[in-house]
């Protein structure tokens, strides 16, 4: 069970909890790099103008200022576009990074980025004010083939599938499909309709229908048509026929249908059971232009999306030069918080150390260091006792630390190692002795399915 942080919204993990988080991060890095994504890191600070140029979430942005300004320097207001603020996601900083470094990058540019972000939300499980995200994106110069939308979804399904988490589902829609449909039924304010549909799971269809009518001037028939579209969910490409049965004709709708069909068709073949066409998914940020994705843990839907993103065609530009992209972001802290609070996975021990080298006397410290050095040279984590206490006390210390093995060397130079979990003690040579694969490194083990 994860501890409650003393400062709400800013989680800090115990060592054994941090090992679980590191396992998640290492697994994600490994999958991303296997698919050819290179790592970058952007600065934590952006200008307010840069952060807020797409989508209005200024209430969630943390401004950055010194406690005391230089003498004679006027403090910058929170709406000054040149004021500094902490980034609230990694997509907007990445778009800026691409524009500034376009002359040095090879396109399509594939990157992954794992960093802290900050967002001024009301803290609760799954929502922190400081948290880690893991993003992958592919960005093109001028154009980006749609096939990358398909690839990104498959990479994320593989990455999540390697983590110690319950079953998950990528819920995928396409903004072109939705916007084309709304225009086809006579609702031109497609952004407004999307914002209302995005509230469907929180407030229900009746209240969404009222919003569509009161705020966007929709008729009963238009509101019901929009809700019928949002109600379509399939695990295969049968959603295409269901949308067409609604009798709406629009070129943008057809384009979106075709794109979503390609994503779902590929997913059914390569990651069966992991992806759903869900036409209620809207995504709140305005910069998405095509594929949109939200991901939930089965049985933990109340946690919200653990991975989201999509296609953005106009977020990054330099003069007439545009850099369209597609990417997805995994909420690492949200995932780890749920893993810990629900005991979904645990580290096999609390520390990396596999062997605690005991002292027979204070004078033997140098020889004990030689043993530890020999073990470390072969990748076995070891630490040495600080003083020569009774062996029983040294064993208890190792046990409290969660170290599985204690190494003893007698005055004649004979070595033995004891597994303090089983009590078995055997002769050993520091140049050759090796623990089992399960003990040489910390293992993060998923809890058995109930």
- Of residues 132 and 2, more confidence is placed in 132
Contact partners, residue 439, CB within 8 Å, separation at least 6: 348, 354, 404, 405
Q: Which of 59, 86, 113 is the last residue before a domain boundary?
A: 86
User: What pLDDT, on the 0 to 100 scale, is given for residue 1?
Assistant: 46
Among candidate residues 273, 281, 272, 279, the one with its CA nearest the CA of residue 305:
281
Q: Which of 289, 313, 346 is the last residue before a domain boundary?
A: 346
The region of weakest confidence among 134-148, 278-292, 428-442 is: 278-292
Residues 405 and 428 grouped into a single domain: yes
The per-residue pLDDT for range 436-448, each reduced to its tens digit, is: 999 999 999 887 7
pLDDT class for 3, splitting at 50, 70, 90?
Answer: low
Residues 406 and 438 grouped into a single domain: yes
Q: How many helices (H) and strands (E) in the chain?
A: 15, 21
* pTM of the entire predicted model: 0.90
Residues 101 and 75 grouped into a single domain: no
What CATH number is given to the structural domain containing 397?
3.40.50.800
Provide the residue range defining the domain that includes 268.
Answer: 15-41+93-346
User: What pLDDT, on the 0 to 100 scale, is given for residue 126?
Assistant: 79
Over pLDDT 70: what percentage of the chain?
94
140, 296, 302 from 330: Cα distances, Å: 22, 11, 17
pLDDT class for 412, splitting at 50, 70, 90?
Answer: confident
State the CB neighbour count (10 A cutoff) for residue 67: 4
User: Is there a domain that residue 360 lies in?
Assistant: yes
The region of weakest confidence among 40-54, 176-190, 224-238, 262-276 is: 40-54
Q: How far apart are CA 208 and CA 205, in angstroms?
A: 5
User: What pLDDT, on the 0 to 100 scale, is given for residue 450?
Assistant: 58
Average pLDDT of the chain to the nearest whole number: 92
- Of residues 358 and 127, more confidence is placed in 358
191, 263, 433 from 159: Cα distances, Å: 31, 17, 35
Positions at the binding site for L-histidine: 89-91, 119, 133, 137, 283, 287-288
Does residue 78 have a pLDDT over 80? Answer: no
User: What pLDDT, on the 0 to 100 scale, is given for residue 375?
Assistant: 98
What CATH number is given to the structural domain containing 322?
3.30.930.10
Residues 366 and 295 grouped into a single domain: no
Residues 182 and 111 grouped into a single domain: yes
Residues 70 and 23 grouped into a single domain: no
Cβ-defined contacts of 371-380 (< 8 Å, 24+)? 371/407, 371/409, 371/415, 371/430, 374/430, 374/431, 375/407, 375/430, 375/433, 378/434, 379/440, 380/354, 380/355, 380/434, 380/435, 380/440
Does residue 66 have a pLDDT over 90? Answer: no
Q: How far apart are CA 171 and CA 308, in angstroms?
A: 9
Residue spans of beta strands (DSSP E) within 348-399? 355-357, 382-384
Residues 309 and 383 grouped into a single domain: no
User: Is there a domain that residue 9 lies in?
Assistant: no
Where do runs of H (alpha helix) occur along 62-189? Answer: 91-100, 147-161, 175-184
Q: Walk across the sheet containing 325-331 and list its strands.
A: 38-39, 109-118, 130-139, 325-331, 307-312, 291-297, 168-174, 275-278, 233-234
Instruction: State how many domains the chain has.
Output: 3
pLDDT class for 75, splitting at 50, 70, 90?
Answer: low
User: Is there a domain that residue 1 lies in?
Assistant: no
Positions at the binding site: 89-91, 119, 133, 137, 283, 287-288
Q: Check if the beta carbon of residue 328 is closer than 8 Å to that of residue 148.
A: no
The region of weakest confidence among 56-60, 259-263, 345-349 is: 56-60
Average pLDDT of the segment spanning 8-13: 92
Six-digit token string for 92 = 């907007």
Does residue 50 have a pLDDT over 70? Answer: yes
Does residue 73 have a pLDDT over 70? Answer: no
């Amino acid at each position: 069970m994860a501890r409650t942080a003393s400062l709400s919204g800013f989680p800090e993990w115990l060592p054994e909890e941090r090992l679980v988080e590191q396992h998640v991060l290492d697994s994600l890095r490994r999958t991303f790099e296997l698919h050819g994504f290179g790592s970058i890191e952007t600065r934590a600070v952006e200008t307010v103008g840069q952060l807020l140029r797409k989508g209005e979430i200024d209430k969630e942005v943390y401004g950055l200022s010194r406690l005391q300004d230089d003498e004679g320097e006027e403090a910058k207001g929170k709406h000054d576009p040149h004021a500094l603020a902490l980034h609230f996601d990694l997509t907007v900083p990445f778009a800026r990074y691409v524009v500034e470094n376009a002359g040095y990058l090879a396109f399509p540019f594939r990157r992954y980025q794992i960093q802290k972000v900050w967002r001024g939300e009301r803290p609760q499980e799954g929502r922190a004010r400081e948290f880690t995200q893991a993003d992958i994106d592919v960005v093109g110069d001028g154009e980006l083939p749609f096939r990358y939308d398909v690839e990104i979804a498959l990479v994320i399904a593989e990455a999540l599938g390697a983590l110690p988490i319950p079953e998950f589902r990528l819920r995928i829609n396409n903004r072109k499909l939705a916007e084309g449909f709304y225009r086809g039924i006579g609702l031109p304010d497609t952004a407004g309709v999307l914002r209302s549909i995005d509230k469907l799971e929180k407030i229900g269809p009746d209240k969404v229908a009222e919003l569509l009518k009161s705020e966007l001037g929709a008729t009963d028939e238009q509101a019901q048509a929009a809700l019928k579209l949002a109600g379509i969910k399939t695990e295969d490409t049968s959603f295409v026929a269901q949308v067409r049965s609604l009798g709406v004709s629009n070129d943008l709708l057809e384009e979106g249908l075709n794109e979503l069909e390609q994503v779902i068709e590929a997913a059914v073949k390569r990651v069966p059971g992991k992806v759903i066409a869900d036409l209620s998914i809207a995504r709140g940020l305005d910069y998405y232009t095509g594929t949109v994705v939200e991901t939930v843990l089965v049985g933990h839907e109340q946690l919200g999306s653990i991975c989201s993103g999509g296609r953005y065609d106009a977020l990054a530009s330099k003069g007439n030069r545009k850099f369209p992209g597609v990417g997805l972001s995994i909420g690492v802290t949200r995932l780890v918080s749920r893993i810990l609070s629900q005991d979904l996975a645990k580290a096999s021990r609390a520390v990396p150390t596999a062997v605690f080298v005991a002292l027979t006397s204070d004078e033997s410290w140098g020889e004990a260091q030689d043993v530890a050095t020999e073990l470390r040279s072969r990748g076995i984590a070891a630490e040495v006792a600080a003083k020569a206490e009774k062996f029983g006390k040294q064993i208890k210390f190792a046990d409290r630390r969660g170290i599985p093995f204690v190494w003893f060397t007698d005055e004649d130079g004979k070595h033995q190692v004891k597994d303090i979990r089983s009590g078995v003690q055997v002769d050993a040579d520091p140049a050759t002795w090796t623990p089992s694969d399960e003990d040489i490194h910390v293992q993060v083990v998923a809890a058995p399915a109930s």
